Homo-oligomer: A and B are copies of this chain.
Amino acid sequence: MSGVPKADWIVGVDIGGTNLNVGVIPVGGGPPIAFRTQPTRAQRGAKFVVDRVVKMIKDAIREVMQENGCGLEDFAGVGIGSPGPLDRSTGTVISTPNLGWRNFPLRDLIQNAVGLPATLDNDANAATYGEWWMGAGRDARTLVGVTLGTGIGGGIVFDGELYHGASDAAAEIGHMTIDSTGRKCNCGNYGCLEAYASGPAIAARAIEGLESDTESILLELAGDPENITAELVSEAVVKGDGYATEVINDTAKFLGVGLANLINILNPEVVVVFGGVARAGDHLFVPLRAEVRRRAFRVAEEACRIVPSELGGKAGVIGSVACFKKEMYGAV
């Protein structure tokens, strides 16, 4: 690493539609300390969210300074992960449907308020880079991350570098078509992976499939069918619920089509799956791997491990720090 400043710490920020996560990581790597989470409350506006993030960053820095007897000069900067599409060179979020931002200079607002240099990257890219740095993809040269949340995002690591593409839009795998005449997606098209395997899509399929005589603990867990979520489906599966198992088996098939496409195109060593639905564990991963085996090229499928995230909710913070290191020092 050339040009590494004489700092000990880097702040990682993970901005999501639901939660904001902030933590501090030693420059040389290690688990985040002074980690904190707060709800995003995007409906209260961009200024509210940025003020909240800045306060979380300052609180985390103060906590680390107090515990380690150091000062602000011991912090190299702030790595930020945010939903996109975004422009890394200007640090601007181009648009985020979930947060309602357009051409929003997020990086500089945080940089100026905190008084430390900052970098901005896509949230799914960051989470993927986190898993490559300190998680499930530690030993991999080529890694693909798939984030299953309100939407579906992705990240690609080649030879230890995040791949961003020609306009920072690479790895937008949620809108990969898997069924060109299939389910309508929020984006207006038909048959996107996101229309089948995002959290809301899993819940929607679970609700649609319920019949008056369906026996399932899902209804007890949810109270009302409208309260069914992908997390509740995963919980019911783990408890042995037959109906929820069907829903997850279907999810595994749809997701398996998407992962097989990624594996045929990118031939990665590891695919890391993020998100609440991964909590279903082998109930998801066993049929998922079977569908991939059925659809992907054998030499590509055999070269690839499909695993759940190891870093979980901290992947974004850890990965944003990795992005900061890469952008500022040229290496992680």
Contact A167 B264 (CB under 8 A): no
Q: What copy number does this chain have within its complex?
A: 2
- Collect the chain B residues with CB atoms within 8 Å of residue A163's CB: 158
Contact A177/B268 with A141-B166, A142-B166, A166-B141 known, Cβ cut-off 8 Å: no
B173 and A265 within 8 A (CB): yes
With a CB–CB cut-off of 8 A, which chain B residues contact A179?
178-182, 191
Chain B residues, Cβ within 8 Å of A154: 265
Interface of A with B (CB < 8 Å)? 85, 94, 141-142, 154, 156, 158, 163-173, 175-182, 189, 191, 253-254, 257, 260-262, 264-269, 294-297, 299-300, 302-304
**Most chain B CB within a 10 A radius of its CB, from A261, A302, A304:** A261
Contact present for B267 and A299 (CB under 8 Å): no
Q: From the candidates B142, B171, B175, B180, name the one contacting A178 in the complex (CB within 8 A).
A: B180
**Known contacts A166-B267, A167-B302, A179-B182, then 9 further A-B pairs from the complex at CB < 8 Å, ordered by chain A residue:** A165-B303, A166-B268, A166-B303, A171-B267, A177-B295, A179-B180, A180-B182, A180-B253, A261-B261
With A261-B261, A267-B164 known to touch, is A300 a contact of B169 (CB < 8 Å)? yes
Which residue from B170, B181, B189, B294 sits with its C-beta under 8 Å from A266?
B170
Residues of B within 8 A of A260 (CB): 177
Please give, as numbers and ranges, the residues of chain B lying within 8 Å of A253 by CB-CB distance: 180
Max chain B CB contacts within 10 Å: which of A158, A265, A267?
Answer: A265
Question: Could you pull out 25 A-B pairs where Cβ atoms are within 8 angstroms?
Answer: A85-B297, A85-B299, A158-B158, A158-B163, A165-B268, A166-B268, A167-B300, A167-B302, A169-B299, A169-B303, A171-B265, A171-B267, A172-B265, A172-B297, A175-B296, A175-B297, A176-B265, A177-B260, A177-B295, A178-B179, A179-B179, A180-B182, A180-B253, A189-B294, A189-B295
